[in-house]
Amino acid sequence: MEIEYDFSSELAIPISYGSSEVIETGKWGFEKPETAFLTAPCQEACPAGNPIPQFLYLAGEGRCEEALETILKENPFPGVCGRVCFHPCEKDCHRGQYDEAVSINAMERYVFDVTSNHHPDIHPISNADSKRVAVVGSGPAGLSAAYFLRLLGYRVTLFEARKALGGVMRWGIPEYRLPKSILKKEIERILQLSIDVKTGVRVGKEIPFEELDQFDAFFLSPGAGLSLSLGIEGEDLKKVWRGGGFLDRINSGDKPRIGKEIIVIGGGNTAMDVARSALRLGSRVIVAYRRTRAEMPAIQDEIHEAEEEGVRFEFLLLPVKISLLKNRRIRVKFQRMRIRGRDQSNRPKANPIKGEYLTLEADGFIKAVGEGVDLSWIPGNISKNGLIDVNSSLTTSNPKIFAGGDAIDQPRAIVTAIASGKKAAISIDLYFRGCMSEDGFSKIRVGNKGALSMATYLSGKDGGNGSEPKDVISYPQINTLYFEHSKRIEMRKQDRNKALKGFSEVNLGLTSDEARISTSRCFSCGTCNYCYNCYFFCPEGVISLDPLHQTKTVDLDHCKGCGTCAKVCPRYVVLMKELS
């Protein structure tokens, strides 16, 4: 119904909301509210740039399929990362400064788990100039590069030496942490984008490296699969196993007979997986590490779980000799170490204590001291210091060869491998379009720690609307008065005795109630979560919110610029801007 106003009297007095609409009270103010999102610290800290507050909001509203699609824009492996990522996002979560960090990692898994029957709407963009790209290696780096290159519309051929895809996710990480069914689902989703897969083809063996030249560009992600040698006497004894080989056999369904008592050498993820797998085969396990617990490079959760399951740790021990005893057991002589100074990579340095040794006996010895990159098939001019040598855009000295994952100089983790696959896909696109420059990356950065946004890149491609990078919201900018203290929710775990009887998954995820509580703990730092505070407190009633389409409008013709909305926004999304 249209309202008719009577302006015949000299003084128009607003007597109702309807009548006051004709008076543009908005002109009285000196400031106007502006809604602008900032980057949350969790998202900045996730190397894959996962849109964390956005997916938590959607999951909290029960819109998990949309939450999954939101993650998939930046990360093709939510089911894997939700299980085995070392979650640097949680370390930087602002909620951690208030009480305890939000369970982001568990929520990522939850979103994947509850949408297992959903076929997400992800399609490559149309790309008339459909160049051909070869990807070598199908670990998280190679599969991510293939995924993002397909989203960018390029034709991709993926070469994998093994008979199945997945790299360490398949042959390294055991079933009790990452079930093969989960990996299968993630890989199937990626392959639905039409990737030409060649398994059982080792580049440099089945086909020569030069054959890659038929492609317009190629991405090398062969990982670091070479077991490093300890260089000590007795290392070649039959009772001495390679950590990678041991896990490979277990992941192939084998149950190697390793004996009742096992010594594992190392402090990284491989050592933890070896130790916990050996427990599941019925062995008693000692892990010996040359530094202290504080320096162990393995994921903290894994160290903790290994301890809980009964792995014994011995620190500051370096093996110097292994010998076979008459009773077919082995004796390992260890040099005692102490921490003093720092090494070349600035890590605390372990130094031998002169004349101090310790001897341990066991039935078997498994070395898990790190892995090297097999460079034997790679041209010498693109490698350096045992790695493939790349610049900041992941390009080698040959402009059409790119590399990522464990084979380059970067932290060795699944999420960093994913990040390098994404960055290389963007680099290859920039290379094809002849516009490679640092600017190409700075516009799509998520905060300042190296994460990039593919969604922003795609929206800004070919002169589109790619938004400018946003600042990261600081903790004092959050108005914590609006939040009650609450405890963080951890994933439920399988009963320990039952867990040790086999290889079934240890972490059981969150229930729907636990997920709801977890999402409600998120501050939604720098992002509107439609809490309606501004709507309820606005004295003029000029704010409209649409949570379904995630939009918010302010009727500026009638906003007097009082600033109440900005004051009551808990997450620093509404700011008052002076009118010019």
Ligand X SMILES: Cc1cc2nc3c(=O)[nH]c(=O)nc-3n(C[C@H](O)[C@H](O)[C@H](O)COP(=O)(O)OP(=O)(O)OC[C@H]3O[C@@H](n4cnc5c(N)ncnc54)[C@H](O)[C@@H]3O)c2cc1C
Interaction between residue 150 and ligand SF4 (CB under 6 A):
no
By CB under 6 A, tell whether 223 contacts ligand X.
Answer: yes
**Rounded-to-integer distance, Cα 261 and Cα 252, Å:** 23
Residue 137 binding result from ligand X, ligand SF4, none, given CB thresholds of 5 to 8 Å by partner type: ligand X
Among 47, 53, 137, 447, binds ligand X (CB under 6 A): 137
| Shortest reach from residue 50's CB to ligand SF4, in Å | 4
User: Binder to ligand X among 29, 33, 405, 561 (CB under 6 A)?
Assistant: 405
Tell me how crowded residue 338 is: count the other CB atoms within 10 A of its CB: 13
Closest CA to 567 of 543, 541, 534: 534
> How far apart are alpha carbons 331 and 229 in whole angstroms?
18
* Of positions 48, 52, 136, 279, contacts ligand X by CB under 6 A: 136
Cα distance between residue 309 and residue 499, in whole Å = 9
Selected binder of ligand X within 413, 425, 454, 574 (CB under 6 A): 413
Using the rule CB under 6 A, is 41 a contact of ligand SF4? yes
Query: What H or E segment, with its residue span, contains residue 417?
Result: helix 414-432
Rule CB under 6 A: is residue 89 a binding residue for ligand SF4? yes
Q: Within its chain, how far is the Cα of 315 from the centroid?
A: 30
List the one residue from 82, 225, 266, 297 that touches ligand X (CB under 6 A). 225
Lookup: tokens for 223: 């990982």
Minimum distance, C-beta of residue 84 to ligand X, in the bound complex (Å): 4
DSSP, collapsed to helix, strand or coil, labels residue 31 as strand
Complex with ligand SF4: residue 40 or 217, whichever CB lies closer: 40
Window 45-74: contact mask with ligand SF4 (x via CB under 6 A): -x-x-x-xx---------------------
Contacts of 580 (CB under 8 A, 6+ apart): none
Cα→Cα distances 551→117, 260, 535, Å? 29, 62, 13
Smallest separation, CB 158 to ligand X (Å): 9
**Of 40, 161, 303, 454, which lies in the binding site for ligand SF4, with binding defined by CB under 6 A?**
40
HSE-CB for 355 with a 13 A CA cutoff: 0
Tell me if 286 contacts ligand X by CB under 6 A.
Answer: no
| Least distance between ligand SF4 and beta carbon 98 (Å) | 8
List the beta bridge partners of residue 339.
Answer: 350
Residue 164 exposed, middle or buried by CB count within 10 Å (0-12, 13-18, 19+): middle
Smallest distance, ligand SF4 to C-beta of residue 40, A? 4
The C-alpha torsion from 463 through 466 and 471 to 475, rounded to 10°, is: 180
Cβ 137 to ligand X, closest distance in Å?
3
**Interface with ligand X includes 140 (CB under 6 A)?**
yes
Task: Determine which residue in the list 76, 79, 88, 297 makes contact with ligand SF4, applying CB under 6 A.
Answer: 88
- Contacts of residue 549, Cβ cutoff 8 Å, sequence gap at least 6: none
Report strand pairing: 574-578 vs 31-35. antiparallel
Residue carrying the six token digits 């040698």: 229
Amino acid at 377: W
Q: Does 45 bind ligand X (CB under 6 A)?
A: no
Contact positions vs ligand X (CB under 6 A): 84-86, 136-142, 159-162, 167-168, 172-173, 202-204, 221-223, 225, 247, 269-270, 273, 299, 377, 405-407, 412-415, 417
Contact positions vs ligand SF4 (CB under 6 A): 40-42, 46, 48, 50, 52-53, 75, 81, 85, 87-89, 93-95, 102, 104-105, 108, 415, 522-525
